Amino acid sequence: MMDAIIQWLAAATLNQTPEDFAAGIALALLSVTGVLLSTSLHPPIRITGFLCGLLSQPLWFYIAITSYNLGLFINSIFFTAMWFYRFVPALRAKKISPEAQ
């Protein structure tokens, strides 16, 4: 099993262009950071999380388009809409949410 994982990792990294590899790394960093920070009780941290999530969306589209993955492309549309849907109220928040007090 471990050999299969190592072979897959080698193929996934060696068979990519530098641009695709950089997009994948940036996508992982921005997406995970966005999800983690967007769940904060503190509005400034939450807004930073939403910004990271929104910044990751062009990378999702890039990867979906270059890999000809329709499902990923459709998911990217919905995730972009969801990031915006939650980002706008976060911008309006003036103080820490009641749960944090």
Question: Per the domain annotation, does 4 fall within a domain?
Answer: no
Q: What does the pLDDT average to over 67-96?
A: 87
Handedness of CA 79, 81, 40, 55 (dihedral sign): positive
Question: Per the domain annotation, does 29 fall within a domain?
Answer: yes
For the cut 70, the answer to whether the pLDDT of residue 92 exceeds it is: yes
Residue 71 Cα to chain centre, angstroms: 16
Question: Per the domain annotation, does 81 fall within a domain?
Answer: yes
Number of domains in the chain: 1
Domain, as residue range, for 52: 18-94
- pLDDT bracket for residue 100 (50, 70, 90): low
Buried (b) or exposed (e) across 40-78, using 16+ Cβ within 10 A? beebeebbbbbbbbbbbbebbebbbeeeeeeeeeeebee
Name the average pLDDT for the chain: 88
Question: Per the domain annotation, does 66 fall within a domain?
Answer: yes
Q: What does the pLDDT average to over 40-68?
A: 93
At 68, give phi and psi (nearest 5°): 55, 45
Question: Per the domain annotation, does 6 fall within a domain?
Answer: no
Question: Per the domain annotation, does 78 fall within a domain?
Answer: yes
- Give this prediction's pTM: 0.78
Question: Per the domain annotation, does 44 fall within a domain?
Answer: yes
Question: Per the domain annotation, does 71 fall within a domain?
Answer: yes
